[in-house]
Chains A and B, each alone.
Chain A
Amino acid sequence: MDVAAGRVPAPGATSARWRRKLRKVGFGFSVLVIVSPAILVFLWMLSLSLKNEIDNLAYPPVFIPGQLTLRNFVQVFAENSMGL
């Protein structure tokens, strides 16, 4: 015990370390909660633009379709001059 005294940390310090870790995880979780709505909607928008109409109207929603398509983008640029 005397020999190990130098290396084993004091009893209160272990739980303090766990508490710090827990707080960090909790903080990370709250960051996730805050940022996810922001990015998920944009990701959904991206998903919608790369799918065919039939997948876009499907329920349960299709997040990653079997068939990706660039048709929507082609159509947008073909139909609108967009001042270009």
Chain B
Amino acid sequence: MKYLFKLSISIVVFFGFNLSVLAQIPVSNSKHIIEIRNMKFIPSELIIKKGDTVVWINRDFFVHNITEFDDKRWKSSNLAKGESWSKVINENLNYYCSLHVTMKGKLTIE
């Protein structure tokens, strides 16, 4: 009986502590996920806020990259299946996969 009492106290303390920790973590809405699947960026167009982070995750077994389209100013590394790449976005931009040139996407600052 004494054991059960101690156990229940421990459970309450443990979960209470963790919930309080979780409550202190600010909910972030500045990260956006774009999946690369079936030779498409999903979603292909996204409206974000200046300074938001965009994460691209490759779900295809084909290698892909993310390349700035208009002036080719930057390019990600080549991403194998399951790999991801992220970038803080501060401006409107068009991008594409330079390996599969028909794959295109667009980010617009709100």
Chains A and B form a bound pair: no
Residues of B within 8 A of A (CB): none
Q: A residues within 8 Å of B by Cβ?
A: none
